[in-house]
Amino acid sequence: MSSSPECYADFLERMGHSVRVIDGRYWFNTARGVYTCFPFHQDVDAHTLPLKEILGRDGLVARYGCPIDQGVDSFRILCDESDYGFSSLRSRTRTQVRRGLEACQVEQVDFADLGRQAIPLNADTLVRQGRKVPDNLESYWTQYFREAGRTPGAESWAAFVDGDMAAYLISFMIEDVSNLLILRSSLSHLKSYPNNALVFEFLSRRMQSDDCSQVVYGYESIQEGLGSLDQFKTGMGFRRAPTGQRVELSRWVAPFMNRITIPAASRVLNRLGSGENNAKLRGILSWYQQQPRLADTELCRAA
């Protein structure tokens, strides 16, 4: 099932993202003006970062994993236990998984099944997390499921309670690494622990397969206040693998960011509210201020 990075890049482009291949690494915009890179399990050497090429004309921020001494102390969340099972779980989580497996039927599903049943779960998850449900939710996820179904290395799994889809996940294999990118669940079935049952069955199957060396569940979030999500992941047997994270700013922004302007900008964002975009911007400013400084001559072809 191993798949090349080109397959995921093609998926992103079909979803409307800008993708750039620079020095053999793929960069894409996760939001307007913000670029990150994949494969997600690989670090980037900040000293040789071709920032100008990465950001192009539309980019303002590049965010990436790097060696620990080059960035803010951080971590990837991953599972690489070949013998993953109940012994990998925290004691409280074992009870939740057992209850989930008793109440749920977990199986691999077609992306067409997600198109028919999973869209309401995306809205439920946003509501549970206190986030706004966008007007284009249905059209976006209809397209997402359709394009993921055309992508080599993409797979979808779901947990069902009495025939109702209670949770689903989507992962993309890039090389020999499974990247768990989407996990959504229904508000009405949370007491049946469908997320626990689903992730446990998925990890058990993936870590037993010969073509998968690890499952990566993303980086530490740049937003504050998301510790409960990390606790769920580590309770399920993922571990925090130490790494660094850095953010670089374009030449249009960097000259205006210093020890005086960054705190002032953060205060303005605080007054504007606690929305997701503001939280991410505060995180970018905070990390930019904390991370080690690289000499201008060390940032190759810098913007």
- What is the mean pLDDT of the segment spanning 250-265? 79
Residue 225 forms part of a structural domain: no
- pTM value? 0.90
Q: Specify whether 152 is located in the same domain as 116.
A: yes
Residue 231 forms part of a structural domain: no
| pLDDT for position 259 | 77
Structural domain including 251 reads 7-73+243-298
Instruction: Give the end of a domain, one of 195, 212, 229.
Output: 212
Residue 23 forms part of a structural domain: yes
Please give the single-letter amino acid code of residue 251: R
Q: Specify whether 48 is located in the same domain as 162.
A: no
302 pLDDT higher than 60 = no
pLDDT band at 274 (very low <50, low <70, confident <90, very high): low
25 pLDDT higher than 50 = yes
Share of the chain above pLDDT 90, in %: 75
Q: Specify whether 202 is located in the same domain as 97.
A: yes
| pLDDT for position 275 | 67
| pLDDT for position 129 | 82
* 155: phi then psi, degrees, rounded to nearest 5: -145, 155
Total count of domains within the chain: 2
Comparing CA positions, the residue from 283, 285, 251 lying closest to residue 265 is 285
Q: Specify whether 28 is located in the same domain as 111.
A: no
C-alpha distances (whole Å) from 217 to each of 138, 177, 183, 203 are 25, 10, 10, 11
Residue 229 forms part of a structural domain: no
Q: Specify whether 167 is located in the same domain as 255.
A: no
Residue 232 forms part of a structural domain: no
| pLDDT for position 163 | 95
Q: Specify whether 198 is located in the same domain as 87.
A: yes
Residue 235 forms part of a structural domain: no
Bridge partners of residue 160, in order along the sequence: 105, 165
Q: Specify whether 85 is located in the same domain as 195.
A: yes
Of 61-75, 134-148, 206-220, 247-261, the range with the lowest mean pLDDT is: 247-261
| pLDDT for position 269 | 65
Q: Specify whether 89 is located in the same domain as 207.
A: yes
- The sheet with strand 154-161 has its strands ordered as 19-22, 25-31, 34-38, 61-66, 239-249, 72-79, 214-219, 177-185, 164-174, 154-161, 105-109
Q: Angle of helix 5-14 relative to helix 137-149, nearest 10 degrees?
A: 150
209 pLDDT higher than 60 = yes
Q: Indicate which CATH number applies to the domain containing 126.
A: 3.40.630.30
What are the tens digits of pLDDT across the range 179-198?
Answer: 999 999 999 999 999 999 99
Q: Specify whether 111 is located in the same domain as 63.
A: no
Q: Specify whether 94 is located in the same domain as 157.
A: yes
| pLDDT for position 67 | 96
| pLDDT for position 301 | 44
| pLDDT for position 176 | 95
Q: Specify whether 34 is located in the same domain as 54.
A: yes
| pLDDT for position 303 | 47
What are the tens digits of pLDDT across the range 56-78?
Answer: 999 999 999 999 999 999 999 99
Residue 221 forms part of a structural domain: no
Q: Specify whether 99 is located in the same domain as 165.
A: yes
The CA R_g of the chain, rounded to the nearest whole Å, is 20
Quote the mean pLDDT of the chain: 90
What are the tens digits of pLDDT across the range 89-147?
Answer: 999 999 999 999 999 999 999 999 999 999 999 999 999 888 889 999 999 999 999 99
Residue 277 forms part of a structural domain: yes
- What is the mean pLDDT of the segment spanning 209-231? 84
| pLDDT for position 225 | 60
pLDDT band at 296 (very low <50, low <70, confident <90, very high): very low
Share of the chain above pLDDT 70, in %: 92
What is the longest distance spanned by two Cα atoms in the chain? 62
| pLDDT for position 1 | 62
